Structure 1
Amino acid sequence: MKKIILLFFAVGVLGCSRQGALDDFLVLGGTNMAQIDQYFDLSDQQHKALEKDTEDDLDHLRKERFKSFAKTLRDIDRSAQSPSNTKVLSTGYARLKQHYEESSAYFRNAGTKLVASLSEKQILNFKGKVQGEINSMKSSMNGTSNVLDDDLLNTYEQALEYWFGDLTTEQKQSLVQFSHEHPYPWKEKIKNKEAILNKFMNVEGDSQKRREFSAEFIVNYDRMRTPEYATAMDSYEKNFQNYLDGFWNSLSSDQKKRMHSYLVGRAEKLEQMAKKP
């Protein structure tokens, strides 16, 4: 889910100033600021150090990848001008996903330094926090209405509006229909978190292995997925890409104009930032 949402917001994430560098790194790494703070309870000093290291990593990304990212946005915009192209969004999604995967590798330095600064108490804090998260997710699924699904739909709406402006009632209903026909794999996600927790508990008695585990969790979270969760998410993402093709056909001329203006504006900003020394 996080990757799907990121791909919609990616234009803004990679086209922003350094002010948001810390959150950008954490999103690109597969997690986010609130989770890192929750799991490891970072001190103010650690926050500041992480932000500085992230700014350095983001600067390398800017110099090496922003121009390529801008080209992709312009390519998506050009493909949208063809009346016969019905796969504008699914193809764009696939290309943005590639940028996501390539960009995340740039922030390993910041993640490695963060792990080196963690105390044993902070690392051990991980166990209780993840268990609490698992319990909370299970509780959210026990009612007559799945709170997790409701939150997910709201986030998808916001992400789509980021590109196209206000959605019509029919477009919002199509999102609801998609969620009913292709439910998000919450059960697999919970089992994945349980598997991660078990991995941590297996190394709990070894300080060095705990630290190595924490580094992998922060820097390379996607690779910690269980095969079952990875398969479920791959299937879900493919279904979502198919949904995007149908969604494209529902867009009004004004919504397409908004996307055009937004993509061109973001591409220009990325190109400007890539040229800075």
Structure 2
Amino acid sequence: MKNLILGLILLLCTGCGQLDVIVRWADITAASRADRYFDLTSEQKSELKENIQNDIAKMRKEMFPEVAKTFRSLEPEIKKEQINKDLVSKNFIEIQSYFKKGTNYFKDTALKTVGKLKKSQFEHFAKKVREDITETQENNETPEKSLKASYKRYRRSLEFWIGGISVKQQDEIENFLKANPYPWQLQNKSREHSLKLFLEASHNPGALQKFVADYFVDYETSRLPEFNEALNKHKAAFQTFLTEQFWKGLSTSQKNVLRDNLISRADDLDKIAQRP
């Protein structure tokens, strides 16, 4: 369930057109996703959906205005030829903090859910996670496939914010990823590591509750340290790429699209936060 919650927060921070629709259906989507991984009973699924509804209501009222404020703080910088590196760094840190803060809203729900799982459901979860890992490995089994997967993700996100990108900008993204490849292999090893810790904890109720609580407070604690190190290095390189290279090539039109998107997304977040 944590991955789905991260997905929701990622949509807030990296772009998706119909945010209100996503938020309204998030409880159903999360419950269905959890059912796929844990093979929930109808009672478990119904309770999970209700608890997630309450969690999302609290998150959108408390955290959404903060995200909106972060977006608005960037808007005055858009027309500048040289973006403020310190401001970008500050906002990168803030957005990363929203991932951890956001997952924390769902900690109690996760604790209630795992506390009622049976052994067969943990086994079902392990099977599904390993299927995901295998699929990721197959999609990134060669440097060419890995580059293609990373490029598609980065391009999609950038195009949401600034509109269409030029051939030169496409080449810049690809060259960045060739020089700073995303650590897919370490990610897979880290997921196996986290799964192993989770399954070991599942044999002891106290250990399970601690693992899940720690995971939802700071999901990095269960990762392989070498993956955290590689991922942070990749993020830092991407931040430098955006501020020192990619930004200089933005057209006036792209900056206008970015500005409009920041304002529009901030307004949407505030409206959703104020909704009863």
Calculate the TM-score normalised by the size of structure 1: 0.79
- 1:155: Cα distance to partner? 1.6
Where do 1:227-246 residues align within 5 Å?
227-245=225-243, 246=245
Aligned sequence identity (%): 25
Deviations 1:186-214 (A, max 9, x none): 2221221232233245456x252684477
Instruction: Please name the residue that 1:40 is paired with.
Output: 38
Give the letter for the 1:226 counterpart.
Answer: L
Of the candidates 208, 213, 233, which is equivalent to residue 205 of structure 2? 208
| Aligned Cα root-mean-square deviation (Å) | 3.4
Instruction: Please name the residue that 1:10 is paired with.
Output: 13
* 1:78 and 2:83 matched: no
Give the letter for the 1:247 counterpart.
Answer: F
Give the letter for the 2:57 counterpart.
Answer: D
Instruction: Please name the residue that 1:125 is paired with.
Output: 124
Deviations 1:220-270 (A, max 9, x none): 543311111111111111111112212222211111111111111222222
Deviations 1:160-196 (A, max 9, x none): 1111111111111111111110011122212212322
Give the letter for the 2:20 counterpart.
Answer: C
Secondary structure of the structure 2 residue equivalent to 1:145? helix
Sort the Cα spacing of 1:54 and 1:100 in 2 relative to 1 into closer, same or farther, 3 A: same
In 2, Cα distance between equivalents of 1:210 and 1:54:
23
In 2, Cα distance between equivalents of 1:39 and 1:183:
29
Instruction: Please name the residue that 1:20 is paired with.
Output: 25
Instruction: Please name the residue that 1:29 is paired with.
Output: none
Deviations 1:9-57 (A, max 9, x none): 5265795353232389x6xxxxx975x4553234555444333322211
- The 8 Å contact of residues 90 and 241 in structure 1, kept in 2 or not, is answered as yes
User: How many pairs does the alignment contain?
Assistant: 267
Calculate the TM-score normalised by the size of structure 2: 0.80
In 1, Cα distance between equivalents of 2:100 and 2:55:
15
Instruction: Please name the residue that 2:183 is paired with.
Output: 185
- The 8 Å contact of residues 107 and 216 in structure 2, kept in 1 or not, is answered as yes
Q: Which runs of 4+ in 1 moved over 6 A?
A: 2-5
Give the letter for the 1:132 counterpart.
Answer: E
In 2, Cα distance between equivalents of 1:54 and 1:198:
26
In 1, Cα distance between equivalents of 2:227 and 2:93:
20
